[in-house]
Chain A
Amino acid sequence: DVKVTQSSRYLVKRTGEKVFLECVQDMDHENMFWYRQDPGLGLRLIYFSYDVKMKEKGDIPEGYSVSREKKERFSLILESASTNQTSMYLCATSIGQGGNEQFFGPGTRLTVL
C-alpha cells in the first residue's frame, strides 16, 4: 500500500513565522501535490512537482513556495505566515501520467495566530 505521511497533524504558528510542511511517500511516485482545503471551496492546488527539483504553480501559489530535493519528499514553505493561510493542507502523490489515482496524506491543520 502507498503510504503518504505528513510531518504534523496540527500546527500553530504566529503571523510572520516561516513554516515548513513536509510530505514523504514510500512508493517511488513521480508526482507530488500540495493542496489546501477550506470549507465551501473544496481542494485548491498550490504547487505540484513531476520530478526531483521540478515544480509547477497550481491555482493559488501566492505566499507559498516548495522544494523537492529528493523523489520521496515534497516540502511546502510559507515564507511569512499570515492568518489567511490558516487551513487544512493536504499532500498527494500519483504515478506516471494518464489520470492515475492520487493518494493522499492525512493532512496538516495549520492555525496562524
Chain B
Amino acid sequence: GNSVTQMEGPVTLSEEAFLTINCTYTATGYPSLFWYVQYPGEGLQLLLKATKADDKGSNKGFEATYRKETTSFHLEKGSVQVSDSAVYFCALSDLEEGGNQFYFGTGTSLTVIP
C-alpha cells in the first residue's frame, strides 16, 4: 500500500541554521510527492511538489528532490528564519489510484528561535 514516513519532531533550530526534514515513502504505483506547511491557526498550504523521479521542487528557499532509488523526498533549507516556524507535512498521491487520494505523514513541528 501507500504510506509516508517523516522524521519525528519537534525540531528547534536557531535562525540561519540549515534545515533537513526527512521523508520516505512507500507506493504501489507512480506517486507525485508534496510538502505542505501549516502555520499556527491555519490550514495546510502547498509548499512544493515533484511529479517524477529526479524532479526538484522549490519554493521560498525550500527544496526537495524526488529520489526514486531511496524512495525519499527530504525537505531542506539553507538558512531558516523565525517566520518558518510551522508544522511541515510530507504527502504523496498515487497516480495508479487516480491520484486523488493523498497520503500524509504525521507532520514535523519546526520552531526557529532568534
Contacts and interface: CB of A to CB of B under 8 A. Distances in A.
Chain B interface size range: 20 to 34
Given A94-B100, A97-B98, A98-B99, A42 B43 contact: no
Contacts, number: 55
B82 interface: no
A23 B100 CA distance: 18
A102 B43 contact: no
B44 interface: yes
Interface in B32-55: 32, 34, 36, 41-46, 49, 51
A101 B34 contact: yes
B95 A98 contact: yes
Interface of B: 31-32, 34, 36, 41-46, 49, 51, 89, 93-95, 98-102, 104-107
